[in-house]
Amino acid sequence: MKLFGIEIDGRSREEIFKDIVKRIDSSQRVFVVTANAVIMLKVKENPKYRKAVESADLVVPDGSGIVLVSKLKGKRISKYPGVELARDLVSEGSKKKWKFYLLGARERVVSKLAKDLKQRGVNVCGYHHGYFDGKGPVEEISEKKPDIILVAMGVPKQELWIYENMEKFRKGLFIGVGGTFDVMAGFKKRAPKWMVKAGLEWLYRIFQDPKRWKVLFRLFRFFIYALLDRG
Ligand code: UDP
């Protein structure tokens, strides 16, 4: 399905995951965007961010807003939340001994996650918090050549960082995963299953962090633009 000129992957999550695994196994350099309403609104309103998302190899539907819009437009796509994709990558990667690099979140969050994953047998070759000035750990990543670089710095920072630095790396799957590190390291809870199923994860996140209420305006703007959009 095309939304605001961006092709959103309409395959099943199994097919998407298989494709991603194939690309990692063949040492390709890949940029994956996990698109939700906030990301798509940024695409619509920010030309630089649009360029970043346009340069992605895969745009996976992460949010219920996108799935709902596709349904209203008569197209069926299934949701593949970034936090679940990240978990699938970690679980497949621990079997295949892929090398992971964790970039983003606060120091205490990312260091705890790195430690936890290593204890579970995941090959974490390095990590860095997401509050740096300048270009961040580009040289370290170039040297260590990880297979997967999980970038958890929020929107738009994570996709812009990948877009601006991607050319400097030979290989690796680069994926923006938002607040996933806080959830994986146990600092924040994910919404209960029934809320995820009902497509209400965004509401749970507002309860968790009331400062997020402004996101409602963004969701509203996204729906207006999306329903008027002709692809
Ligand atoms: N974050 C970061 N650097 C920044 C801003 C945010 O590493 O400059 C991290 C933050 O600690 C959190 C994640 O990015 O772990 C997601 O942040 P937020 O919830 O604000 O973004 P969203 O999920 O709304 O994209």
Pocket test for ligand 1, best of 36, 40, 150, 153 (most atoms within 8 A of CB): 153
Kindly give the residue spans of alpha helices, DSSP state H, lying in 76-187. Answer: 82-96, 107-119, 138-144, 157-165, 180-184
What is the value of pTM for the model shown?
A: 0.94
Distance from the CA of 75 to the center of ligand 1, in angstroms? Answer: 31
Please state the atom number of ligand 1 nearest to the C-alpha of residue 215. 24
Distance from the CA of 151 to the center of ligand 1, in angstroms? Answer: 10
Say if CB 107 and CB 166 are below 8 A apart.
no
Distance from the CA of 156 to the center of ligand 1, in angstroms? Answer: 9
Give CA 22 to chain center in angstroms.
Answer: 19
Q: How far apart are CA 188 and CA 224, in angstroms?
A: 31
Read off the amino acid at residue 4: F
pLDDT at 197: 87
pLDDT at 140: 98
pLDDT at 139: 97
Nearest CA to ligand 1 atom 15: 105
E strand spans, 138-220: 148-152, 172-176
Distance from the CA of 177 to the center of ligand 1, in angstroms? Answer: 9
- Reading the chain (231 residues) residue by residue, the pLDDT tens digits are 999 999 999 999 999 999 999 999 999 999 999 999 999 999 999 999 999 999 999 999 998 899 999 999 888 899 999 999 999 999 999 999 999 999 999 999 999 999 999 999 999 999 999 999 999 999 999 999 999 999 999 999 999 999 999 999 999 999 999 999 999 999 999 899 999 888 888 899 898 888 888 889 999 999 999 999 987
pLDDT at 231: 72
Nearest CA to ligand 1 atom 22: 154
